[in-house]
Amino acid sequence: MPGFEFFGPEETKEVNEVMENGVTFRYNFDGVRGDQWKARQMEQMIQEQMNVKHAHLVSSGTAALQVALAAMGVGAGDEVIVPPFTFVASVEAVIAAGAIPVFAEIDETLCLSPEGIEAAITPRTKAVNLVHMCGSMAKMDEIKAVCDKHNLLLLEDACQAIGGSYKGQALGTIGDAGTYSFDSVKTITCGEGGAVITNRDDVYGHSHMYSDHGHDHVGMDRGAEDHPIMGLNYRISEMNAAVGVAQMRKLDKIIATQRYNKAKIKNAIKDISDIQFREIPCEEGDSAGFLSFILPSEQRALEINKKLAENGVDGCFYWYGNNWHYVKNWKHIQNLTAPAKLPIELIEDRPDYTNIQTPKSDDIMSRTISMLIKLSWTEEQMDARIEGIKKAFA
């Protein structure tokens, strides 16, 4: 991770095929595009790779979240359970839908816990936005059981976890819908892009229409298409999808490389007494984008984070102090700061986001460091990294 480390002539070839035909729009222009349909091709590749019935490409991972929520029927006044540890888009998309984010606790998986979800459910709860953080998964059996028990929709935000699985099933395909991100620093990249994946025909139908102004995409004449629903424009371009086609062919190699590199480092530092590795409910399904470990105290985590940098171990993240991945640092979310009045402001009994209480999550994240696993490391570079980690803990 990220996929751009494996950029090569394959991506150039796919982009050139689009440029040679001059059609960058993903729909129509059938007669002049030389039968080049990169978005369709990438969608088919995702469907086959993930063993999922439908995949629909959009312009970003954030767009995928917004489209998925709308397609699942989540809207004004609905409560959606979200984690305090995630990229901020997971929460922004809920607010943009007119819904109400409700923060629940995570556990040592670094994902929402079944107990945290159960404790956050109210009569207004419509869905759970489950984020598979840092390439690994939550306790899916238990969480699916909670959602089924309370008749809740389950959206899997697998934007950081493409290529991961749980008991043989691709992450993102277990709930009602899933999302991927293909931005410039994701496991595979289109530059910008995302996808909604689902086994539900109705969610797919709403997804492809909602992301293109409600077009039903029936027939070959765009001007004659009907508009069964309202929508917006979250279309991906053929240029971005072309890069994604080449990257999809490399996904297995990317995941295998990540797993090898992570295993080498993890095995070399497993005997360091201070380290407790994050819980991974299905080890063989870990996409291995990050190596995350939990330390005995916040003070020790801060000390080790500093010493890692001093010993040349780059790419380490102390999320608890990170501006974009932990709720305590999101002042714009806490204060609902926006350029215009938000739908959520019309709800008088909304949560007080300036006083979010997630003490278990605070404890876990204040002690957690995650190391990005790069694809381009040589054996010598990994050996030097291992030595640097050991020096940091000495």
Structure tokens at 123: 């009569």
Residues 118 and 11 in one domain: yes
Residues 217 and 342 in one domain: no
Orientation of helix 298-310 relative to helix 379-393, angle to 10°: 130
Return the active site residues. Answer: 186
Domain end point (choices 219, 250, 281): 250
Torsion region of 41: left, alpha or beta (phi above 0 gives left; psi -120 to 50 gives alpha) = alpha
What CATH number has the domain bearing residue 376?
Answer: 3.90.1150.10
Residues 180 and 279 in one domain: no
Structure tokens at 188: 């595979």
Cβ atoms within 10 Å, residue 332: 10
Residues 295 and 147 in one domain: no
Cα torsion at 18, 23, 29, 33 (round to 10°)?
Answer: -30
Structure tokens at 96: 């943009």
What CATH number has the domain bearing residue 37?
Answer: 3.40.640.10
Cβ atoms of 369 and 389 within 8 Å: the answer is no
- Could you give the CA distance from residue 317 to residue 313 in angstroms, rounded to a whole number? 11
Residues 197 and 85 in one domain: yes
Beta bridge partners of 291: 371
Residues 301 and 213 in one domain: no
Per this entry, what is the length of the chain?
394
Residues of the chain with pLDDT under 70: none
Q: What would the 3-class secondary structure string for 329-342 be?
A: HCHHHHCCCCCCCC
Domain end point (choices 250, 285, 305): 250
Domain end point (choices 250, 270, 289): 250
Q: What is the pLDDT of residues 198-208, one digit of tens each?
A: 999 999 999 99
Residues 209 and 245 in one domain: yes
For the four alpha carbons of 350, 353, 355 and 357, in that order, the dihedral sign comes to positive
Q: How many domains does the chain have?
A: 2
Q: What share of the chain is helix, strand, coil (3-state, %, to 5)?
A: 45, 15, 40
Q: What is the pLDDT of residues 232-274, one digit of tens each?
A: 999 999 999 999 999 999 999 999 999 999 999 999 999 999 9
Q: Residue 34: which domain range?
A: 3-250
Residues 59 and 104 in one domain: yes
Cβ atoms of 107 and 136 within 8 Å: the answer is no
Beta bridge partners of 299: none
Residues 358 and 287 in one domain: yes
Residues 77 and 33 in one domain: yes
Q: What's the pTM value of the predicted model, to 2 decimals?
A: 0.96
- Could you give the CA distance from residue 200 to residue 71 in angstroms, rounded to a whole number? 10
- Could you give the CA distance from residue 53 to residue 31 in angstroms, rounded to a whole number? 28
- Could you give the CA distance from residue 21 to residue 33 in angstroms, rounded to a whole number? 5
Residues 6+ apart with CB under 8 A from 142: 114
Residues 266 and 231 in one domain: no
3-state SS assignment for residue 181: strand
Structure tokens at 242: 């072309």
Residues 159 and 270 in one domain: no
